[in-house]
Amino acid sequence: MVHISRVQKRPKGHAREAEVTDYVYGTHFAAQDLPHHEMAEREMPAAVAYRLIKDELSLDGNPLLNLASFVTTYMEDEAQNLMTDSMSKNFIDYEQYPQTANIQNRCINMIADLLHAPTAESPDDQDSIGTSTVGSSEGIMLAMLAMKKRWQNRRKAEGKDSTRPNIVMNSAVQVCWEKAARYFDVEEKYVYCTETRYVIDPEGAVNLVDENTIGICAILGTTYTGQYEDVKAINDLLIKKKIDCPIHVDAASGGFVAPFVNPSLEWDFRLPKVVSINVSGHKYGLVYPGVGWVFWRSAEYLPKELIFNVNYLGTEQATFTLNFSKGASNIIGQYYQLIRLGRHGYRSVMQNLTRTADHLATELQKLNFIIMSDGAGGGLPLVAYRLPPDENRLWDEYALAHVLRQRGWVIPAYTMAPHSNQLKMMRIVLREDFSMDRCNVLVEDMKMAMKTLEEMDRAMIEQYIRHSSRQSQSGKPDHPVYPGEKHSLQGKTGKTHAVANAINFTQETWTNDIFAAQAAHIDAFALNLGYGLHNYELILNDAFTVAHRHNFKMFLSFDLGQGSQWPADEIVHVIDNYATGSAYYKHHDDKPLVSTFEGGQSADVWKDVRHNAQSEFFFIPDWSSLGIKAASSSPLIDGLMSWHAWPAGAHDMNTTLDEEYIAALDGRPYIMPVSPWFYTNLPVFDKNWAWRGDDLWFDRWQQVLELAPEYVEIITWNDYGESHYIGPMHEDDLGIFAVGDAPFNYAEGMPHDGWRAFLPYVIDLYKSGGKNASFDKEGVVSWYRLNPGSACMSGKTTPGQLSVEGTNTTSPRTLMQDRIFYSALLESAADVTVSIGGASKTGSWVDTPSGQKGLYHGSVPIDGMTGEVVVTLSRAGEQIAQMKGEAITTDCRKNHGYNNWNAWVGSAMSEKNVASEKTSSNDKKSGSQRSRPAMTLLLGLVLLALV
Ligand SMILES: Cc1ncc(COP(=O)(O)O)c(C=O)c1O
């Protein structure tokens, strides 16, 4: 039978069902944003809050696939239940939760036993001491405080200065060490890693110890490569040399690995010099974050003034922690793991991981990777590896990490600790849940990822790398108020993706650089500002604040090269914000000077800028690629700068173009560019070229003296990527090499400071029209390349920029001469000798000042010789100054097989002062008379946009 039912209408007067639903996605909460900034006035149902937050968190990565982290991602249900049960307990409340406190003590006993902590055998002996912490970082801070206090107490008792403590450690320490040193005012003394050694050099560490050293930190499992540092060697050296210096072992990861995998390794309290050790419970202690442990050999190493006896809720408690309240769950979790697993359980887990790590390393080796970590239990169960150098490979570790990320794997690519030549590497941390099966899946995915990259062409890879560096920028932005914060593996990775040359500049950096510029008689910095740098205002504020403080000047230069899209209104905004400041450089003390790098092709932007800016500025752009005629006839300019600072081809620099500029400007100011060198190899930016440097630094200043332009601009202060920097080297600002995918870091270890040595003299000559310059010390500056041209791979570097120079196919080998160049500042004629690897050559001068006093210049050929370079000035057989320089070598390993076309620069000044009466240089080239005051401006490519 079929029932047909009549549709019944709602009786009149019956209200419609209220618009209320408890179905999460039917509520109005699901139709609006979750509160971000202010608390809502009204409550939200628990189920809705739960679901919406959970949904949002689903965007986080899968912790199991996060092979970047050491921190535990798996615990049994029973452990989780116990931890949940104790979540409401405040650990500090000992009286209320005496069993929890008791459990902490049991954990301390058990872990201390693993570390061979001494226990009192007689009532006179002191037991070792330990406490739980939030993680190793807190443990390290407490240990640092204890070492510092103990050292201070001793110094005070001896009546000695106790204000300058230092700590010796590897440059590959985890960021918490730098943090602790900074927080507690302890100077960091680093033993730097090299390209082949990533752990501390025991001899180097012990040699750094002085009377102010509070201790040496040794790491049992470095964060970068997982390698164990040789604690025993440090211990034995200290004993042998009878040095009274304690060792702290940072066993954040290794503390729970080595005792099970490598029990005979002596690194812990078995060594008499080891006074304290930290371990992370939440790493290989197998507990969820955050729990850690720190131990002292005895109370002697934990000065009692650091211990607080607090009377809390009626009970006296001794505490040594950085904060008061903390949850009890993780300590309970730790106890669960210790009794659940016992020694056998931990051993099984750690041995499994070690075996799997060895298997993974073998598989990666088969794929041609270079393994940087130690296998077979010699280090942590992790695999650190890198690609072999290969001139033809288009992709790198960053690109590989990015492809793997798409499959869900989080495997970080980063650069090795400072002084390791920006070595790129990747690291896979094996945690207990990384079974052999998952390992094999990863290896297959790795093969697929490499295949994908091999099949991409250059354009695609570049797009890819650019995209991934943007992703990593947007994923880890600098803090808007504390930009450029560095260190920690994460920070380091982020940092290397930042291109701005001054992104890490602090007020201190500005101060130091301004002092260096002032010492060279430089008057101002041009701040070359790229578009799109989110924190540029903070950097500019610092720059102008410090310039004001030290009576230095700065001015803006807008980087408009390579499609940079500075909108007119934003240029106006920046000019109006800064141009009226007291530290802003004003042309003839009147109008603020504004400059550019390029932008001549879209010159019209400046019509709007001129029209809308409140400040009436003096505009001297560099519109070199527009051509002199077009640029000089633009009604928008007040003067011009030229970028033609290097000779195009295998010949020396001349002034043809400068003279054309001066003529075309017809009395308007010309900024003449001066630069010492140019070599760049940054494939991501399509840059791989060199110009002849050689005699350029000397020649060009002579040309300045000859032409006497109104302004001179040195290109540059800090562009390491193009090798024409003359300012101090900032480790933190060498990220360009990783971002630009340079085949190697060609600026590291290549100082250019020597090029500033004679600037005061030559700048004074220029400013005074050759009339007024003096010097009080004689000296020599020398520069040369460390590899003879034919020694290593040329790197396919072409001379000059192809688009500008046409199809120039000369090799840099013919462009640059294999010679040692030297300039000398002398009171009267002197002799120069150059020795290379001990073989001496008599040098000659190709340029001497008339009247004998002033700048001399010359060079000698290398003639295939290698070894240390020594340039000596002498007069009548008596030595005036001697510069000992870096060795010339045909060993190309440091540069991954490539020739370094950058220059090494050194200088040496005489001990004696010369009579310092002011003399004009009678130099034949410096005679022009000037009518207007000249300014030397220095261009630092200080700010750039992100790629
Ligand atoms: C060697 C080393 N020390 C200290 C720490 C900091 O440990 P935690 O995260 O437990 O504070 C880490 C973390 O990775 C580390 O690897």
Task: Give the residue among 782, 680, 761, 775 at the shortest CA–CA distance from 721.
Answer: 680
Q: What is the pLDDT of residue 494?
A: 23
C-alpha distances in angstroms, 76 versus 337, 434, 572?
A: 9, 15, 61
Question: How far, in Å, is the centroid of ligand 1 from the Cα of 384?
Answer: 17
Q: What per-residue confidence (pLDDT) applies to 938?
A: 53
- Please give the mean pLDDT across all residues of the chain: 86
pLDDT at position 363 is 96
Task: Tell whether ligand 1 has an atom less than 6 A from the beta carbon of residue 225.
Answer: no
Which band of pLDDT confidence, cut at 50, 70 and 90, is reported for residue 739?
Answer: confident
pLDDT score at 470? 46
- Which amino acid belongs to residue 279? V
Of 778, 846, 849, the C-alpha closest to 817 is: 846
CA distances to 52, 137, 283, 458 from 117, in Å: 49, 21, 21, 57
Confidence of residue 922 (pLDDT cuts 50, 70, 90): very low
**Residue 176 in contact with ligand 1 by CB distance below 6 A:** yes
DSSP 464: H
292 lines ligand 1 (CB under 6 A): yes
Rg, C-alpha atoms of the chain: 33
User: pLDDT of 526-553, one tens digit each?
Assistant: 998 887 766 677 788 888 999 999 999 9
DSSP per position, 709-754 = -SEEEEE-SS-GGGT---S---GGG-THHHHTT-SS-SSTT---GG
CB 550 within 8 A of CB 514: yes
The alpha carbon of 95 is separated from its chain's Cα centroid by a whole number of angstroms, namely 48
Give burial (CB, 10 Å; 0-12/13-18/19+) of 674: buried
Sort strands 424-429 and 553-559 into parallel, antiparallel or unpaired. unpaired
CA of residue 104 to ligand 1 center, whole Å: 21
Residue 317 DSSP SS3 = strand
Question: What Å distances lie between residue 883 and 824, 873, 909, CA to CA?
Answer: 11, 9, 8
Backbone angles phi, psi at 377, to 5 degrees: 80, 5
Tell me the CA–centroid distance for residue 141 and ligand 1, in Å: 12
**907 in ligand 1 pocket by Cβ < 6 Å?**
no
Q: How far is the CA of 279 from the centre of ligand 1 (A)?
A: 8
Cα–Cα distance for residue pair 415/424, rounded to 1 Å: 4
848 Cβ closer than 6 Å to some ligand 1 atom? no
Where are the strands (E) in 337-409, listed by range?
370-371, 382-386
Quick one: average pLDDT of 569-598? Answer: 91
How far apart (Å, rounded) are the C-alpha atoms in residues 369 and 386? 6
Tokens encoding 229:
């540092």
Per the CB < 8 A criterion, the answer to whether 935 and 711 are in contact is: yes
Distance 488 CA to ligand 1 centre (A): 10
Residue 305 has pLDDT above 80, yes or no: yes
Structure tokens at 802: 């192809």
**pLDDT of 12:** 66
Cα–Cα dist 899/788, whole Å:
8
Across 700-721, average pLDDT: 92
Residues 6+ apart with CB under 8 A from 15: none
- The ligand 1 atom nearest the CA atom of 219: 1
Residue type at position 330: N
Higher pLDDT, 852 or 13: 852
CA distance 791 to 51: 65
> What pLDDT does 680 receive?
92
What is the C-alpha to C-alpha distance for residues 350 and 370, in angstroms, rounded to an integer? 24
Grouping H, G, I as helix, E, B as strand and the rest as coil, residue 15 is coil
pLDDT surpasses 80 at 465: no
Instruction: Enumerate helices (H) and strands (E) in the chain, giving the number of each.
Output: 24, 33
Q: Give me ligand 1 centre to Cα 174, in Å.
A: 6
Classify residue 26 by its DSSP letter. G
Among 136, 228, 277, which residue has the most ligand 1 atoms within 8 Å of its CB, making it the best to mutate?
Answer: 136
Residue with the two structure tokens 């697929």? 448
Q: Over range 31-40, report the average pLDDT.
A: 90
Q: How far apart are CA 70 and CA 201, in angstroms?
A: 25
Q: How far is the CA of 137 from the centre of ligand 1 (A)?
A: 6
Contacts of 451 (CB under 8 A, 6+ apart): none
Instruction: Compute the distance between CA of residue 676 and CA of residue 679 in angstroms, rounded to an integer.
Output: 11
Among 437-451, 555-569, 840-854, the least confident range: 555-569
| Number of neighbouring beta carbons within 10 Å of residue 781 | 26
Strands 274-280, 292-296: pairing kind: antiparallel
CA of 352 to the centre of ligand 1 (A): 22
Amino acid 127: pLDDT: 79
Does the structure show a pLDDT above 60 at 683?
yes
Tens of pLDDT, residues 474-488 = 333 333 333 333 333
Q: What is the Cα–Cα distance from 35 to 584, expressed in whole angstroms? A: 43
Read off the pLDDT band of 317 (50, 70, 90).
low
Give percent helix, percent strand, percent coil of the chain, each to the nearest 5: 35, 20, 45
Ligand 1 binding pocket includes 675 (Cβ within 6 Å): no
In what side-by-side order are the strands of the sheet with 819-826?
A: 854-861, 819-826, 777-784, 904-913
d(CA 618, CA 591): 6
Q: Where does residue 678 fall: left (phi above 0), alpha (psi -120 to 50 degrees), or beta otherwise? A: beta
CA of 479 to the centre of ligand 1 (A): 22
Is residue 658 within 8 Å of residue 670, measured between CB atoms? yes
Residue 278 near ligand 1, beta carbon < 6 Å:
no
For position 566, what pLDDT does the model report? 84
**Is the CB of residue 356 below 6 angstroms from any atom belonging to ligand 1?**
no
Q: What is the mean pLDDT of residues 52-72?
A: 90
- Give the model's pLDDT for residue 421: 56
Say if CB 665 and CB 639 are below 8 A apart: yes
Ligand 1 pocket mutation, candidates 72, 171, 176, criterion most atoms within 8 A of CB: 176
DSSP letters along 656-688, please? HHHHHHHHHHTTS-EEEEE-S--EEEEGGGTEE
Is residue 466 scored above 90 in pLDDT?
no
Strand pairing partners for 871?
A: 834, 883
306 CB burial (10 A radius; 0-12, 13-18, 19+): middle
CB of 220 closer than 6 A to ligand 1? no
Model pLDDT for residues 755-811, shown as the tens digit of each residue: 999 999 999 999 888 888 899 999 999 999 999 998 888 888 887 754 344 444 567
What mean pLDDT comes out for the span 240-247? 97
The per-residue pLDDT for range 364-411, each reduced to its tens digit, is 999 999 999 999 999 999 999 999 887 778 788 888 988 898 888 989
What φ, ψ does residue 350 adopt, rounded to 5°? -65, -35
Residue 508's pLDDT band, with cuts at 50, 70 and 90, is confident
The values of phi and psi at residue 604, to 5°, are -60, -25
pLDDT at 491: 25
The string over 834-863, giving b where at least 16 C-beta atoms fall within 10 Å of a residue's C-beta and e elsewhere, is bbbeeeebebebebbbeeebbbbbbbbebe
DSSP string, 171-205: TT--HHHHHHHHHTT-EEEEE---SS--S--HHHH
Cα separation, 896 vs 390, in Å, equals: 9
Query: Contact at 8 Å (CB) between 748 and 904?
Result: no
The token pair at 596 is 């550019």
Give yes or no for residue 136 CB within 6 A of ligand 1: yes
Ligand 1: which of 223, 288, 334 to mutate, most ligand atoms within 8 Å of CB?
223
pLDDT in tens, 852-899: 999 999 999 999 999 999 999 999 999 999 999 999 999 988 888 889
| Alpha carbon distance 235, 752 (integer Å) | 39
Task: Determine the pLDDT at residue 567.
Answer: 87
Find the distance separating the first CA and the last CA of the chain, reported in whole Å: 76
Residue type for 168, please? V
CB 425 near ligand 1, within 6 Å: no
Question: Ligand 1 within 6 A of 257 CB?
Answer: no
Give the mean pLDDT of 40-58: 93
DSSP letter (8 states) at residue 254: G
Residue range 621-645: mean pLDDT, rounded: 94
- Highest mean pLDDT, choosing among 89-98, 547-556, 877-886, 929-938: 877-886
CA 178 – ligand 1 centroid, Å: 12
Q: Is the CB of residue 757 below 6 angstroms from any atom belonging to ligand 1?
A: no
Separation between Cα atoms, residue 234 and residue 236, nearest integer Å:
5
> Which residue type occupies 389?
P
Q: Is the CB of 281 inside a 6 Å radius of any atom of ligand 1?
A: no
- Among 242, 188, 235, CA closest to 214: 188
Tell me the pTM. Answer: 0.56
Rounded to the nearest whole angstrom, what is the distance from the C-alpha of residue 778 to the centroid of ligand 1? Answer: 51
Q: Give the CB-side neighbour count of residue 284, counting CA atoms within 13 A.
A: 33
Give dist(CA 743, CA 902) in Å, integer: 13
pLDDT-based confidence at 563, cuts 50/70/90? low
Tell me the C-alpha to C-alpha distance, in Å, between residue 621 and each of 589, 617, 645, 694: 19, 12, 15, 28
Instruction: Answer whether 280 contacts ligand 1 (Cβ < 6 A).
Output: yes
pLDDT band (50, 70, 90) for residue 945:
very low
- Given ligand 1 and candidates 200, 253, 278, which is best to mutate, with the most ligand atoms within 8 Å of its CB? 253
